[in-house]
Homo-oligomer: A and B are copies of this chain.
Amino acid sequence: MQVIKDISTLREAVRELPRPVGFVPTMGYLHEGHLSLARAARQACASVVVSIFVNPSQFGPNEDFSRYPRDLERDQRFLSEVPVDIIWTPDNLTMYPEDYQTWISVEKVAAPLEGKMRPGHFRGVATIVAKLFNCVQPDRVYFGQKDAQQVRVIQQMIRDLNFPLDMIVCPTARESDGLAMSSRNVYLNAEERKAAPVLYRALQNARRRFDEGERNADILRKQIETEIQTEPLASIQYVSIADADTLEELRVIKKDALISLAVFFGKTRLIDNIRLEIAPRK
C-alpha cells in the first residue's frame, strides 16, 4: 500500500496498477461507510485507490472546515485492512494552487435541498470530484447513498461532461441503532447521540406507510416532522420528499422518490435519506 502526496507520483503509480482501477474519494476520518465503498471496489476491481482530502471549497464560510475531524494514521490503518493499493493525500496547495480559478456548476439537481442550505457546496463538490477523477483516471468510482443529492449531482456531472468511468452507489452504512454513519457524528455529545436515531426511525415509519399505500407526500412529510419533533434535542432544517431524478418536491408520489432531511442536534447538522421505489427493481 503506497501513501502518495503529489499528483505526478500518483499518476505514475496508477499507471503501474492493473485495470480496472476502482476509486473512492473521501474526506478522511473514515468509518464503516467509507470502508464498505473500499471493499466494494476491492471486490469488483483489480486495483483500488482511495483519496483523502478535506476539500475547503465545499464548506461554507460558517461551516466546520477547520474543525472537521482528521486522523490520517487511523485512516491508513483501516485502509490497510481492506487492503487498498494507493492512498492519495494531496494538500490544499496541490489541489488549489495560487490563482486557481476554474469551477464546475451543476444547475437544476444541485439547486434545492443541500444546495439551497449550503450555497456553493455542490460547486465545490463537483469541481474537486472532477479534479480527482482527472488525477486518478479510474474506471469505476464509488460513492455512498448517504449523500443522496451529492450522488445525483455527480451522476449528472459524469453524464454531462462525458467522464469515461462508471459510478457505483453503495448503501448507507448505519450504526446498530440506525444512525447513518458520518464523520460528523463525532461532534454529538452523549445525549445528542442518543437522540439522533429518531431520524432513521422517522424515515422507516414513512416508508412503512408508503408501503401500505400512502402516496400523499404532504401527509408523509408531516408524519416525519411530527415524529422528529417528539425529540426535544432535534431541530429540523428540512424534510423533503422529492422526485428521485429531478429532486423537485412532490405532492403525490407517482415515481421513484427520495425522502431526505437535514436536522440539527445542538450545533451538529445531520442528514439522512431513503429512497421510495414505485416499480419493483429490475
Residues of A participating in the B interface, judged by any CB pair closer than 8 Å: 7, 11, 97, 99-109, 126-127, 130-131, 134-135, 137, 156-157, 159-164
Q: Are B102 and A105 in contact (CB under 8 A)?
A: yes
A131 neighbours in B (Cβ, 8 Å): 160-162
Q: How far is the CA of A142 from the CA of B218 in the complex (A)?
A: 55
Contact A104:B102 (CB < 8 A) given known A131-B162, A164-B137: yes
Once bound together, how far apart are the Cα atoms of A240 and B2, in whole Å? 50
| Given the contacts A162-B135, A163-B134, A164-B11, A109 and B103 also touching, CB distance less than 8 Å | no
**Are B104 and A108 in contact, with the CB atoms below 8 A?**
no
What are the residues of chain B within 8 A of A137 when measuring CB–CB? 164
Q: Which residue of chain B lies nearest to A245 when distances are taken between CB atoms in the complex? A: B99
**Given contacts A7-B162, A11-B164, A157 and B107 within 8 Å (CB-CB):** no
A149: min CB distance to chain B, Å? 14
Q: How far is the CB of A49 from chain B (nearest CB, A)?
A: 14
Chain B residues near A102 (CB, 8 Å)?
Answer: 104-107, 126, 156-157, 160-161
Question: Which one of A101, A106, A107, A137 has the highest number of Cβ atoms from chain B below 10 Å of its Cβ?
Answer: A101
Complex interface: chain B residues within 8 A of A126 (CB): 102
A104 CB contacts on chain B under 8 angstroms:
102-105, 161
Number of copies: 2
Contacts of A127 in B (CB 8 A): 161
Do B101 and A109 touch across chains, with their CB atoms under 8 A apart? yes
The answer for the CA separation of A191 and B126 in the assembled complex, in Å, is 50
Q: Which residue of B lies closest to A165 (CB)?
A: B134
Q: Give CA–CA (A160, B107) in the complex, Å.
A: 21
Across the A-B interface, the 6 shortest Cβ-Cβ residue pairs: A102-B160, A101-B107, A134-B162, A102-B106, A135-B162, A131-B162
- Chain B residues whose C-beta falls within 8 Å of the C-beta of A164 in the assembled complex: 11, 134-135, 137
Contacts of A157 in B (CB 8 A): 102
**In contact, A108 and B101 (Cβ under 8 angstroms):** yes
Cα A103 to Cα B97 in complex, Å, equals 21
Q: What distance in Å separates the Cβ of A94 from its nearest Cβ neighbour in chain B?
A: 10
Nearest residue (CB) in B for A246 is: B99
Are the CB atoms of B134 and A101 closer together than 8 Å? no
Contact A101 B163 (CB under 8 A): no
Determine if B108 and A105 form an interchain contact, defined as CB atoms under 8 angstroms apart.
Answer: no
Residue in A104, A108, A157, A162 with the greatest tally of chain B CB atoms within 10 Å: A162
Which B residues touch A135, using CB under 8 A? 162, 164
A160: chain B residues within 8 A (beta carbon) = 100-102, 131
Q: Are the CB atoms of B106 and A105 closer together than 8 Å?
A: no
Q: Which residues of B contact A163 (CB under 8 A)?
A: 134
